Amino acid sequence: GDQVEQSPSALSLHEGTGSALRCNFTTTMRAVQWFRKNSRGSLINLFYLASGTKENGRLKSAFDSKERYSTLHIRDAQLEDSGTYFCAALVTSGGNYKPTFGKGTSLVVHP
Amino acid sequence: GALVYQYPRRTICKSGTSMRMECQAVGFQATSVAWYRQSPQKTFELIALSTVNSAIKYEQNFTQEKFPISHPNLSFSSMTVLNAYLEDRGLYLCGARDHGANSDYTFGSGTRLLVI
Protein backbone atom coordinates (compact mmCIF):
# COMPACT_ATOMS: atom_id res chain seq x y z
CA GLY A 1 0.00 0.00 0.00
CA ASP A 2 0.89 3.65 -0.20
CA GLN A 3 3.47 4.76 2.33
CA VAL A 4 2.31 8.38 2.16
CA GLU A 5 -1.35 9.35 2.37
CA GLN A 6 -1.98 13.00 1.59
CA SER A 7 -5.24 14.79 2.29
CA PRO A 8 -7.35 16.45 1.16
CA SER A 9 -6.94 15.76 -2.54
CA ALA A 10 -8.60 19.06 -3.37
CA LEU A 11 -9.17 22.23 -1.38
CA SER A 12 -11.03 25.43 -2.12
CA LEU A 13 -10.39 28.55 -0.02
CA HIS A 14 -11.59 32.11 -0.09
CA GLU A 15 -8.94 34.79 0.02
CA GLY A 16 -7.91 35.58 3.57
CA THR A 17 -8.92 32.24 5.04
CA GLY A 18 -6.72 29.31 5.97
CA SER A 19 -6.56 25.58 6.21
CA ALA A 20 -4.23 22.64 6.70
CA LEU A 21 -2.91 19.88 4.50
CA ARG A 22 -1.83 16.62 6.05
CA CYS A 23 0.34 13.65 5.19
CA ASN A 24 0.16 10.43 7.16
CA PHE A 25 2.91 7.87 6.91
CA THR A 26 2.63 4.11 7.30
CA THR A 27 6.19 3.83 8.55
CA THR A 28 8.79 5.93 10.32
CA MET A 29 10.17 8.58 8.00
CA ARG A 30 13.53 10.30 8.41
CA ALA A 31 12.36 13.69 7.18
CA VAL A 32 9.69 15.34 5.07
CA GLN A 33 9.65 17.95 2.34
CA TRP A 34 6.72 20.05 1.15
CA PHE A 35 6.55 21.40 -2.39
CA ARG A 36 4.26 23.56 -4.48
CA LYS A 37 4.03 22.95 -8.20
CA ASN A 38 3.93 26.28 -9.96
CA SER A 39 2.30 27.23 -13.22
CA ARG A 40 5.46 26.28 -15.14
CA GLY A 41 5.45 22.81 -13.62
CA SER A 42 8.43 23.36 -11.34
CA LEU A 43 8.42 21.89 -7.84
CA ILE A 44 9.17 24.74 -5.48
CA ASN A 45 10.66 23.58 -2.21
CA LEU A 46 8.63 25.04 0.67
CA PHE A 47 9.99 23.20 3.69
CA TYR A 48 12.42 20.50 4.71
CA LEU A 49 11.89 19.15 8.22
CA ALA A 50 13.69 16.42 10.11
CA SER A 51 11.59 17.23 13.20
CA GLY A 52 9.55 19.97 14.85
CA THR A 53 8.04 22.94 13.08
CA LYS A 54 9.10 25.61 10.63
CA GLU A 55 7.40 28.78 9.59
CA ASN A 56 7.85 30.94 6.53
CA GLY A 57 5.50 33.85 6.03
CA ARG A 58 1.96 32.56 5.83
CA LEU A 59 3.04 28.94 5.75
CA LYS A 60 3.84 26.73 8.68
CA SER A 61 4.78 23.08 8.67
CA ALA A 62 5.14 20.44 11.34
CA PHE A 63 6.60 16.96 11.30
CA ASP A 64 6.17 14.29 13.96
CA SER A 65 8.21 11.22 13.08
CA LYS A 66 6.97 9.23 16.05
CA GLU A 67 3.29 9.91 15.32
CA ARG A 68 3.98 9.50 11.59
CA TYR A 69 2.47 12.64 10.14
CA SER A 70 3.26 16.05 8.79
CA THR A 71 1.08 19.10 8.24
CA LEU A 72 1.25 22.23 6.14
CA HIS A 73 -0.82 25.16 7.39
CA ILE A 74 -1.73 28.04 5.12
CA ARG A 75 -3.11 31.22 6.65
CA ASP A 76 -4.48 34.34 5.00
CA ALA A 77 -4.58 32.55 1.65
CA GLN A 78 -3.86 34.65 -1.45
CA LEU A 79 -4.77 34.02 -5.08
CA GLU A 80 -1.15 33.23 -5.92
CA ASP A 81 -1.18 30.35 -3.42
CA SER A 82 -3.28 28.34 -5.86
CA GLY A 83 -1.53 25.26 -7.17
CA THR A 84 -0.79 21.67 -6.33
CA TYR A 85 1.00 20.91 -3.09
CA PHE A 86 2.96 17.74 -2.49
CA CYS A 87 4.58 16.22 0.53
CA ALA A 88 7.53 13.90 0.06
CA ALA A 89 8.64 11.73 2.93
CA LEU A 90 12.28 10.71 3.07
CA VAL A 91 12.75 7.10 4.09
CA THR A 92 16.16 5.69 4.81
CA SER A 93 17.27 3.34 2.05
CA GLY A 94 20.70 1.73 2.10
CA GLY A 95 22.34 4.70 3.76
CA ASN A 96 20.55 7.16 1.51
CA TYR A 97 17.24 9.04 1.66
CA LYS A 98 14.53 7.98 -0.73
CA PRO A 99 11.69 10.48 -1.26
CA THR A 100 8.18 9.04 -1.52
CA PHE A 101 5.55 11.50 -2.71
CA GLY A 102 1.96 11.92 -1.63
CA LYS A 103 -0.67 12.22 -4.36
CA GLY A 104 -0.92 15.96 -3.98
CA THR A 105 -3.49 18.53 -2.90
CA SER A 106 -4.96 20.80 -5.53
CA LEU A 107 -5.61 24.17 -3.90
CA VAL A 108 -7.77 26.85 -5.49
CA VAL A 109 -8.01 30.23 -3.79
CA HIS A 110 -11.07 32.28 -4.77
CA PRO A 111 -11.51 36.05 -4.52
CA GLY B 1 21.33 28.60 -4.39
CA ALA B 2 20.81 24.98 -5.34
CA LEU B 3 19.23 24.47 -8.74
CA VAL B 4 18.46 21.49 -10.93
CA TYR B 5 17.99 21.86 -14.68
CA GLN B 6 16.38 19.22 -16.80
CA TYR B 7 16.38 19.09 -20.59
CA PRO B 8 14.72 18.81 -22.84
CA ARG B 9 11.60 20.34 -21.26
CA ARG B 10 9.35 18.56 -23.73
CA THR B 11 9.99 15.89 -26.31
CA ILE B 12 8.12 13.67 -28.70
CA CYS B 13 9.34 10.31 -29.88
CA LYS B 14 7.93 7.67 -32.14
CA SER B 15 6.72 4.46 -30.59
CA GLY B 16 9.56 1.95 -30.36
CA THR B 17 12.33 4.53 -30.36
CA SER B 18 14.42 5.78 -27.45
CA MET B 19 14.73 9.11 -25.70
CA ARG B 20 17.53 10.42 -23.50
CA MET B 21 16.94 13.07 -20.88
CA GLU B 22 19.44 14.96 -18.78
CA CYS B 23 19.64 16.41 -15.29
CA GLN B 24 22.17 19.08 -14.29
CA ALA B 25 22.79 20.20 -10.71
CA VAL B 26 24.10 23.72 -10.16
CA GLY B 27 25.34 25.20 -6.89
CA PHE B 28 25.66 21.96 -4.96
CA GLN B 29 26.97 18.44 -5.23
CA ALA B 30 24.47 15.91 -6.53
CA THR B 31 25.67 12.98 -4.49
CA SER B 32 22.31 11.27 -4.96
CA VAL B 33 19.93 11.59 -7.87
CA ALA B 34 16.39 10.23 -7.84
CA TRP B 35 14.46 9.78 -11.09
CA TYR B 36 10.65 9.77 -11.09
CA ARG B 37 7.82 9.38 -13.54
CA GLN B 38 4.47 11.08 -13.14
CA SER B 39 2.02 9.32 -15.39
CA PRO B 40 -1.32 10.96 -16.16
CA GLN B 41 -3.57 10.91 -13.06
CA LYS B 42 -0.84 9.41 -10.95
CA THR B 43 1.58 10.57 -8.35
CA PHE B 44 5.34 10.58 -8.74
CA GLU B 45 6.63 7.01 -9.03
CA LEU B 46 10.27 6.49 -8.13
CA ILE B 47 12.15 4.80 -10.96
CA ALA B 48 15.57 4.56 -9.38
CA LEU B 49 17.88 6.14 -6.84
CA SER B 50 21.49 6.69 -7.88
CA THR B 51 24.46 7.51 -5.68
CA VAL B 52 27.56 8.67 -7.52
CA ASN B 53 30.24 6.00 -7.79
CA SER B 54 27.86 3.46 -6.36
CA ALA B 55 25.21 1.05 -7.60
CA ILE B 56 21.93 2.40 -8.98
CA LYS B 57 18.93 0.95 -7.17
CA TYR B 58 15.81 0.43 -9.27
CA GLU B 59 12.34 0.21 -7.82
CA GLN B 60 9.94 -2.62 -8.49
CA ASN B 61 8.40 -2.38 -11.98
CA PHE B 62 11.39 -0.45 -13.33
CA THR B 63 14.55 -2.00 -14.78
CA GLN B 64 17.96 -0.91 -15.98
CA GLU B 65 17.20 -2.60 -19.29
CA LYS B 66 14.31 -0.20 -19.87
CA PHE B 67 15.56 2.94 -18.06
CA PRO B 68 19.38 2.94 -18.10
CA ILE B 69 20.78 5.70 -15.91
CA SER B 70 24.19 7.34 -15.91
CA HIS B 71 25.50 9.33 -12.95
CA PRO B 72 29.17 9.94 -13.78
CA ASN B 73 29.93 12.92 -11.53
CA LEU B 74 28.55 15.23 -8.85
CA SER B 75 26.73 17.54 -11.22
CA PHE B 76 25.16 15.42 -13.93
CA SER B 77 22.88 12.46 -14.52
CA SER B 78 21.03 11.15 -17.54
CA MET B 79 18.33 8.59 -18.10
CA THR B 80 17.19 6.98 -21.31
CA VAL B 81 13.74 5.56 -21.99
CA LEU B 82 14.45 2.66 -24.30
CA ASN B 83 11.91 1.38 -26.79
CA ALA B 84 9.27 3.87 -25.64
CA TYR B 85 5.59 3.06 -25.94
CA LEU B 86 2.38 4.87 -25.07
CA GLU B 87 2.48 3.78 -21.42
CA ASP B 88 5.85 5.52 -21.03
CA ARG B 89 4.41 8.96 -21.66
CA GLY B 90 4.39 11.38 -18.79
CA LEU B 91 6.55 13.80 -16.85
CA TYR B 92 10.00 12.56 -15.86
CA LEU B 93 11.44 14.35 -12.86
CA CYS B 94 14.87 14.26 -11.36
CA GLY B 95 15.76 15.34 -7.86
CA ALA B 96 19.24 15.65 -6.46
CA ARG B 97 20.66 15.80 -2.98
CA ASP B 98 23.98 16.58 -1.38
CA HIS B 99 24.89 14.05 1.29
CA GLY B 100 25.59 16.76 3.80
CA ALA B 101 23.70 16.61 7.09
CA ASN B 102 19.98 17.40 6.88
CA SER B 103 20.22 18.00 3.18
CA ASP B 104 17.00 18.14 1.21
CA TYR B 105 16.27 17.19 -2.38
CA THR B 106 16.12 19.84 -5.08
CA PHE B 107 13.99 18.99 -8.10
CA GLY B 108 14.10 20.04 -11.71
CA SER B 109 11.09 21.05 -13.79
CA GLY B 110 10.92 17.72 -15.52
CA THR B 111 11.02 16.39 -19.06
CA ARG B 112 7.59 15.79 -20.54
CA LEU B 113 7.62 12.81 -22.90
CA LEU B 114 4.97 12.26 -25.52
CA VAL B 115 5.02 9.02 -27.48
CA ILE B 116 3.28 8.87 -30.83
Q: Is residue B115 part of a domain?
A: no
How far, in Å, CA of A38 to CA of A26, rounded? Answer: 28
List pLDDT tens digits, range B15-35: 999 999 999 999 999 999 999
Smallest Cβ distance to B107: which of A31, A40, A43? A43
Number of domains within chain B: 1
CA distance A16 to chain B (A): 29
Domain residue extents for chain A = 4-103
Give Cα separations from A43 to A3, A76, A85, A107 (angstroms).
21, 22, 9, 15
Q: How far is CA A38 from the centre of its chain?
A: 14
Q: Residue B50's domain spans which residues?
A: 3-110
Average pLDDT of span A21-37: 94
- Which pLDDT belongs to residue B41? 72
Q: Are B47 and B36 in contact (CB under 8 A)?
A: yes
Are the CB atoms for A81 and A37 separated by under 8 Å?
Answer: no
| Interval A94-109: pLDDT, tens | 778 889 999 999 999 9
For residue B14, the distance in angstroms to the closest alpha carbon of chain A comes to: 24
Residue B116 included in any domain: no
Give me the total of CB pairs closer than 8 Å, taking one residue from chain A and one from chain B. 52
Least trusted range by pLDDT, from A13-27, A72-86, B51-65, B72-86:
B51-65
Is B76 among the domain residues?
Answer: yes
CB contact under 8 A, B106 and A45: yes
Nearest by CB to B43, from A40, A90, A103: name it. A103
Q: In chain B, whose CA is at the least distance from the CA of A5?
A: B43
Query: A31-89, pLDDT tens digit by residue?
Result: 999 999 987 778 889 999 999 999 999 999 999 999 999 999 999 999 999 999 999 99
**Residue from A33, A37, A86, A97 whose CB has the most chain B CBs within 10 Å, to mutate:** A97
**The predicted structure's pLDDT at residue B39:** 82
Query: Looking at this protein, which amino acid is placed at residue B19?
Result: M
pLDDT at A31: 93
A8 CB-near residues (< 8 Å, 6+ apart): A21, A105
pLDDT (0 to 100) of residue A9:
96
- Which residues of chain B lie closer than 8 angstroms to A43, CB-CB? 93, 107, 109
**A42 with B107: Cβ contact below 8 A:** yes
pLDDT at B102: 59
Query: Residue B103: its pLDDT value, please?
Result: 79
**Contact residues, chain A, for B104 at CB < 8 Å:** 31, 33, 45, 48
**Residue B25 placed within a domain:** yes
The superfamily in CATH containing domain A4-103 is: Immunoglobulins (2.60.40.10)
CATH for B73? 2.60.40.10
Task: Provide the mean pLDDT of chain B.
Answer: 92
